[in-house]
Amino acid sequence: MSRIDRTQMKLYLVTDSTNLAEEIFLKKVEDALRGGVTMLQIREKDKSTRDYIELAAKTHEIAKRYNVPLIIDDRVDVAMAVDAEGVHLGQSDMQVDKARKILGEKKIIGATTKTVPQALEAYQNGADYLGVGAIYPTTTKVKTVLTSVETLTDICNSVPIPANAIGGLNKDNIDVLKNAPIAGICVVSAIMKAEDSYEAAKELLKAYEELKA
């Protein structure tokens, strides 16, 4: 059973509400969805559980209008509380098999993997997709190590589930991904920090589609 379609991974936006008023944050998310974002993850590291749930619920209402799945970063409980479409788990978060037990068969589970053994483990434990990176240095995630395009390619080829690339990506530097068998790109700053998130999403999607044409 497939909980996710490869084409939904094309342009994956991971949000960051740091320094943004809620109203501006939600507008940016909606602008990005209008611009063509195909999958959305809310990622909050500093919020209380209650505030995370409240913002996730509001974000989910918007995502539903665009028929885009909302994935919750790190937190299986928050995903359940807002009935999000899924959760994204890193190597220090809840194990994929444990999350699968809690969430059941219908929810999407994504996993961050940096090596082929991690990718195989995530797949065998029930992950639906993989996030791989950082491809370029990023200020969004501190202490992340870089992943080469070669390792990214090996990961994509090691499992039947879709994988996307993340980390410092923008419309002008994705050429390195031309031959990598990824399902899409994942960005934070390129959309969240853009003056116009609608234009930024539109241009990124166009750049990615041209790259892979």
At 49, list the tokens. Answer: 């559980």
Closest distance to Mg ion from the beta carbon of 212 (Å) = 28
74 binds Mg ion, rule: CB under 5 A: yes
The annotation status of 41 as a binding-site residue, yes or no, is: yes
Q: Which residues contact 84 (CB under 8 A, 6 or more apart)?
A: 56, 60, 69, 70, 71, 72, 78, 107
CB 3 within 8 Å of CB 128: yes
Q: Which residue from 115, 151, 153, 189 is in contact with ligand TZP, where contact means CB under 6 A?
A: 189
Q: Which does 183 bind (CB under 5 to 8 A by kind): ligand TZP, Mg ion, none?
A: none
Q: Which residues, in sequence order, are bridge partners of residue 14?
A: 41
Does 15 count as an annotated binding residue? no
Q: Which does 93 bind (CB under 5 to 8 A by kind): Mg ion, ligand TZP, none?
A: Mg ion
DSSP-assigned beta bridge partners for residue 73: 88
Applying CB under 5 A, the span of 2-10, 27-35, 71-79, 98-106 interacting with Mg ion comes to 71-79
From candidates 68, 187, 194, 201, binder to ligand TZP by CB under 6 A: 187
Options 8, 140, 164, 197; binder of ligand TZP; rule CB under 6 A: 140
Q: Which residues fall within 8 angstroms of residue 1, CB to CB, at 6 or more apart?
A: 105
Element (H, E) at 133: strand 129-133
Site residues for Mg ion per CB under 5 A: 74, 90, 93
